[in-house]
Amino acid sequence: MGLNVRAFTRQHIVAIAVGVLVAGTPLIAFNFWLGGVIERQGQAETEAAARRMISLGEQRVGEVVRALDDLAARGVTACDPVNAEAMQRAAFNTAPIKEVAIVARGGQTLCTHFNVSLADAVGSSGTAGPSFDQRRVLSSEALGGNGYSLDVIGFGDGDRMVRLRHPAGDGPNEIAALMPATFLLPQATAKSDRLYSYIHVATRAGAAIGESGERPDDATDMFVATRRSDKFGFNVVVMTQRGRTIAGNVDLKWLGLFVTVIVVVILAAFGMMVPKSLPNNPVAELERALKAGEFVPYYQPIVDIQSGKLRGAEVLVRWRKPDGTLVLPGSFIPLAESSGLIRAMTFDLMRRVCVEAGAAIGQRPALKISFNFAGALFSDETIVRDVGRTFAGTPIKLSQVVLEVTERDPIENFTLTRQVIAALQGLGVRIAIDDVGTGHSGLSYMLKLGVDIIKIDKMFVDAIGTDRNSTTIVETLVDLAHNMRMDVVAEGVENFEQVMHLRNLGVRSAQGYVFAPPLPGSSFLQLIEAMDTLGSEAEGSLATPARVAAA
Ligand code: C2E
Ligand code: CA
Ligand code: CA
């Protein structure tokens, strides 16, 4: 079944190539496009996060600035109980503010809105009150063009606060407010999804205000966005891991997965279906037809033109398609031979003949049944065994079997071919040379094969009576055959004149439309019954050609 493997492989290569082209190209393009979209969207989302943080930060800082401006306008600059209410109201009403404080020019907290009077009671030492001594001013710089100062305050526990100080007028103290650094570090995206980014916020001068997320060791695989607040000067850096789910990409990933699955399904369907259905895969079609039993034998009678009796038939294959059309061998035998399918086809045909006409032929030992045998089959020794097995146990005896080897097929291994022919003859099978005079091998070469029958091609039969050379050739062939004890069969005999000429030239047997075309099994069986009645010697004369219509 080397053929099967070969055909199968070729089909799959075609199918895979088609599948890859049809489905693969768009897939690659799609993935490329999707990759670009994800890349752009990842970068855009990171930029958007940075922009959002700047605007959120500006908004919160702005609120604090407004509250402090208001307190300053009211003249709140000392740790005086009369200021307590204004300070407390500012702390309560301004969301980002955690604490309003009066600080000394050196930055030291004097009192807060919690304990204005307490602080006032201990004077300006700043040692009383809620652990002011645990606060450390980590950095201090101008906030923007508005005269405010921005301090980053560190607490003992590592927390950081941002302190804004209203510019002091002529007085010794300043009014200040604290907001947590985390107010400048939102933990969620605009859609309230968890933000899987590293965020770093710093002052204009570069002092760290705070960070959130895990600081990446390496920024190469990150989307990075950097922004600065025009108003207040603080900087934001946002880094998002590539491939890390940013909200919008979840949908895109599903889309990508979905499309990939669809494409894989299409590819698989191609892989499975195309080899079976590809119309331009004729070998597979032949194989299918062989399995389906669409190759059937037709039988062309061979007649003894001396006695008028039926001598046998040549089996000619026909492809009977499911729709009833009959295909002649010329359009598929060459492919069957080149693909190697011919062997299986020939043996299938032999078995069909045994089943269909075996009984009728077997009962009449004088009838011969001829099969066309591709030249290549004769260079395979196993053919001898297979021919023997095919007819063993059937009514047809091997002595009734004729195998035709055409002169058209070149003989590749002469010695082997001769051995195979001799072995077949040993079984009782007879060998005929077909299409004599039309091939390249030459008759003398073919005769060295030790054959039993020569079949004179229609070409010479047609020329009889019109071309003297042709008559001479037929005469020579007949003489040669007689000398070598071979039989002669004339092919393609179409009219009575030709029959007469051939008879006068000493040709014994003939086949052709003048007697009958190749017949389907049922018609051939009727013909046998009519012409070769069992036990009757006198029957079966074809002196007047029997016109048997092909059914
Ligand atoms: P072939 O072996 O020379 O067979 C004779 C061809 O001549 C047949 O054509 C037959 O139908 C046709 N023929 C018979 N009498 C006449 C006639 O009076 N006039 C004309 N014009 N033609 C006639 P077919 O059946 O089409 O077969 C063509 C060829 O296909 C065969 O030539 C043979 O070489 C090949 N073939 C047929 N069956 C098989 C097969 O089972 N195995 C192989 N290997 N080859 C086959
Ligand atoms: Ca033939
Ligand atoms: Ca022939």
| Residue-wise pLDDT tens digits, 90-140 | 999 998 999 999 988 777 888 888 887 554 434 334 444 445 667 788 899
pLDDT band at 192 (very low <50, low <70, confident <90, very high): low
Would you say 350 and 391 are in contact if contact means Cβ atoms under 8 Å apart?
A: yes
Pocket test for ligand 1, best of 303, 316, 349 (most atoms within 8 A of CB): 316
Q: Bigger pLDDT: 89 or 108?
A: 89
Do 271 and 325 have their domain in common?
Answer: no
Q: Which residues pair with 240 in a beta bridge?
A: 197, 223
Q: Which residues have a beta carbon within 5 Å of ligand 3, which is an ion?
A: 434-435, 491
User: How far away, in angstroms, is 435 Cα from ligand 3 center?
Assistant: 4
The answer, yes or no, to whether residue 539 has pLDDT greater than 70, is no
In Å, how far are 275, 355, 461, 503, 507 from 466, measured between CA atoms? 53, 43, 10, 16, 18
Would you say 515 and 480 are in contact if contact means Cβ atoms under 8 Å apart?
A: no
Do 262 and 402 have their domain in common?
Answer: no
Encoded tokens for 276: 């079976």
Residue 344 CA neighbour count, 13 Å, CB half: 17
Q: What pLDDT does residue 77 have? A: 85
Note whether residue 551 is domain-resident: no
Say how many domains are in the chain: 2
Note whether residue 166 is domain-resident: yes
Note whether residue 132 is domain-resident: yes
Note whether residue 537 is domain-resident: no
Do 92 and 203 have their domain in common?
Answer: yes
The answer, yes or no, to whether residue 16 has pLDDT greater than 90, is no
Q: What pLDDT does residue 195 have? A: 61
The answer, yes or no, to whether residue 546 has pLDDT greater than 80, is no
Phi, psi angles (nearest 5°) of residue 224: -125, 135
Note whether residue 543 is domain-resident: no
User: How far away, in angstroms, is 92 Cα from ligand 2 center?
Assistant: 113
Q: What pLDDT does residue 549 have? A: 43
457 Cβ inside 6 Å of ligand 1: no
Which of these, 90, 119, 85, 121, lies nearest to 102 by C-alpha position? Answer: 119
User: How far away, in angstroms, is 433 Cα from ligand 2 center?
Assistant: 8
pLDDT band at 349 (very low <50, low <70, confident <90, very high): very high
pLDDT band at 538 (very low <50, low <70, confident <90, very high): very low
User: How far away, in angstroms, is 492 Cα from ligand 1 center?
Assistant: 9
Pinpoint the alpha helices (H) of 128-248: none
Do 236 and 99 have their domain in common?
Answer: yes
Atom of ligand 1 nearest to the CA of 373: 44
* DSSP letter, residue 21: I
Do 326 and 214 have their domain in common?
Answer: no
**pLDDT tens string 422-479:** 999 999 999 999 988 787 777 787 888 999 999 999 999 998 878 777 788 888 889 9
Give the structural domain span for 2.
1-278
Q: Which residues pair with 301 in a beta bridge?
A: 313
Which residue's alpha carbon is nearest to atom 33 within ligand 1?
Answer: 372
Q: What pLDDT does residue 41 have? A: 83
What is the average pLDDT value for the chain, to the nearest integer? 84
Query: Residue 146, Cβ neighbours under 10 Å: how many?
Result: 12
CA–CA gap between residue 222 and residue 216 (Å, rounded)? 9
User: How far away, in angstroms, is 316 Cα from ligand 1 center?
Assistant: 6
Q: What pLDDT does residue 34 have? A: 79
Note whether residue 71 is domain-resident: yes
> Which whole number is the average pLDDT over 342-348?
98
CA–CA gap between residue 528 and residue 364 (Å, rounded)? 9
CA–CA gap between residue 337 and residue 334 (Å, rounded)? 5
> Which whole number is the average pLDDT over 368-394?
96
pLDDT band at 23 (very low <50, low <70, confident <90, very high): low
Which of these, 264, 212, 193, 223, lies nearest to 26 by C-alpha position? Answer: 264
Do 159 and 266 have their domain in common?
Answer: yes
Atom of ligand 1 nearest to the CA of 317: 38
Do 86 and 205 have their domain in common?
Answer: yes
Spatial neighbors of 66 by CB under 8 A, at least 6 apart, are 94
pLDDT band at 274 (very low <50, low <70, confident <90, very high): low
**pLDDT tens string 383-400:** 999 999 999 999 999 999
Opening angle at CA 69, ends 63 and 74, nearest 5: 130
In Å, how far are 455, 473, 488 from 476, measured between CA atoms? 13, 5, 11
Do 223 and 288 have their domain in common?
Answer: no
* Whole-number percent of the chain with pLDDT over 70: 85
Helices (H) and strands (E) in the chain, counts: 15, 20
439 Cβ inside 6 Å of ligand 1: no
Which residue's alpha carbon is nearest to atom 25 within ligand 1?
Answer: 316
CATH number at residue 369: 3.20.20.450
Note whether residue 182 is domain-resident: yes
Note whether residue 547 is domain-resident: no
Which of these, 176, 108, 97, lies nearest to 137 by C-alpha position? Answer: 108
Which residue's alpha carbon is nearest to atom 15 within ligand 1?
Answer: 512
Q: Bigger pLDDT: 8 or 210?
A: 210
Q: CA torsion 393→399→402→403, rounded to 10°? A: 70
Do 407 and 461 have their domain in common?
Answer: yes
Q: Bigger pLDDT: 432 or 276?
A: 432
